[in-house]
Amino acid sequence: MAGRVFLRGLEGERYDLRAHRRQRLAAAHVVHQSERAWRDERTVGHEDPSPQSRAKWMVGPGDDPFLTQTVQCHFVAIDPGGSNGGHGHQNEAAFYILQGHGYEVHDGRRYDWSAGDLVVVHNDSRHQHFNASPTEPALAIVVKPKCTWMMLGLTQQGRDTTVPEGEAAHFGPRQDWSRLWTPGVERLRKVVHAEEEPWQDTPDGRIKWLARRGMDVRLFGIDVWLEQLAPGPAPRHWHMADELYYVLEGSGHTLEWQVEAEIAERYYARVALQPRRHEWSAGDVVYVPQNTVHQHVAGAGGVLLLGAQNRLFRLLGYDATVYPDLEPDRADPIGEAARA
């Protein structure tokens, strides 16, 4: 079995990374489920695999061609009455329940869930997932910024202990790990019931936030939302963060304009005149790269998307979204032909 890639390195012989970015932009940005196989937990490196649970990896740092490691994505399926193998990791993860009902056990506490819920595995959590139905499989899609934790050196994970074998005598007794957490985090929600959250009208369509900064949800590394689009094009927009979308309902395509930097006395953006088009339909995962102008176009009947974005971009100072179509007084270098 090939080793698991937890974090991909970035190297260059010169002081530019143009070839790396060009390669990522040239890759296919729609991942179809038929292109990925279900695998049991033994093949994804878990120490305590369960024969009742399987995973289908969609986007991750080990992919070839490589897309991103700011947001990883995979499916988890659990047989009726079954569970996955319990384990712990320092990174957080968000499970959107697509089918079934069941419960979690996190740090010894139970959290119930059903289809349409967003379930948070908080950082430094010993967790296990259980399917409570005796007849119906449970299915979830998982989005997580795991590589962010890995990049920061937060790599202590496994089934029981990270104390080196044979060295337990060199370590003192147990202490409460949660003393390191931000005060009050244990009062935040771990399960978000989507039907209880409001829809909001935005330039991007109707948005229902499931987790974002400022909400009482115990998720700090990633924003998650539902996005409802009417048939036809949504406004083009431009932001620095990359995104993953899972197509829950409908079909359509995404137009993507490459943005490059012109570095003179300051940074200027140069936007490609012609877009690249990516077709997608229900069940696909759609990737939108960093620093691109992009536009979703929904087919007849409209579209329902699940979106995810690494929150670190906003904390690094990239909190703005630009809508060229909604700024008629500003010069638009893309032109009418490119918008057709």
Residue 157 has pLDDT above 70, yes or no: yes
85-104 core/surface letters (b: 16 or more CB in 10 A; e: else): bbbbbbbbbbbbbbebebbb
> How far is CA 244 from its chain centroid?
6
Which pLDDT belongs to residue 1?
Answer: 41
Confidence of residue 124 (pLDDT cuts 50, 70, 90): very high
* CA 59/CA 262 separation, integer angstroms: 30
φ, ψ for residue 145 (rounded to 5)? -95, 45
User: DSSP per residue over 199-219, as a string?
Assistant: PEEETTEEEEEEE-TTSSBS-
pTM above 0.85, yes or no: yes
Which pLDDT belongs to residue 13?
Answer: 84
Which pLDDT belongs to residue 332?
Answer: 60
Contacts of 104 by beta carbon, 8 Å cutoff, 6+ apart: 110, 111, 113, 119, 121, 127, 128, 129, 130, 190
Q: What is the mean pLDDT of the chain?
A: 93
For 5, the token pair is: 């890639």
Residue 336 has pLDDT above 50, yes or no: no
Structural domain boundaries of the chain?
25-154+191-339
For 81, the token pair is: 């009455």
Domain 25-154+191-339 = CATH 3.40.640.10 = no
Helix (H, G, I), strand (E, B) or coil at 235: coil
What is the number of other CB atoms lying within 10 angstroms of the CB of residue 178? 10
Q: How far is CA 276 from CA 69, 176, 235, 257, 336, in A?
A: 22, 51, 16, 6, 15
* CA 253/CA 85 separation, integer angstroms: 38
Give the model confidence (pLDDT) of 216-262 as tens digits. 999 999 999 999 999 999 999 999 999 999 999 999 999 999 999 99
Give the model confidence (pLDDT) of 278-314 as tens digits. 999 999 999 999 999 999 999 999 999 999 999 999 9
Which pLDDT belongs to residue 337?
Answer: 39
* CA 140/CA 287 separation, integer angstroms: 19
Residue 334 has pLDDT above 80, yes or no: no
Which pLDDT belongs to residue 82?
Answer: 96
Which pLDDT belongs to residue 329?
Answer: 65
Q: In what helix (H) or strand (E) does residue 150 lie, and over which residues does it extend?
A: helix 146-151
Single out the residue of 232, 229, 196 nearest to residue 306, CA to CA: 229
Residues present in the chain in total: 340
Single out the residue of 260, 258, 304, 297 nearest to residue 278, CA to CA: 297
Give the model confidence (pLDDT) of 4-62 as tens digits. 899 999 888 888 899 999 999 999 999 999 999 998 755 555 555 789 999 999 999 99
Give the model confidence (pLDDT) of 76-102 as tens digits. 999 999 999 899 999 999 999 999 999
Which pLDDT belongs to residue 56?
Answer: 95
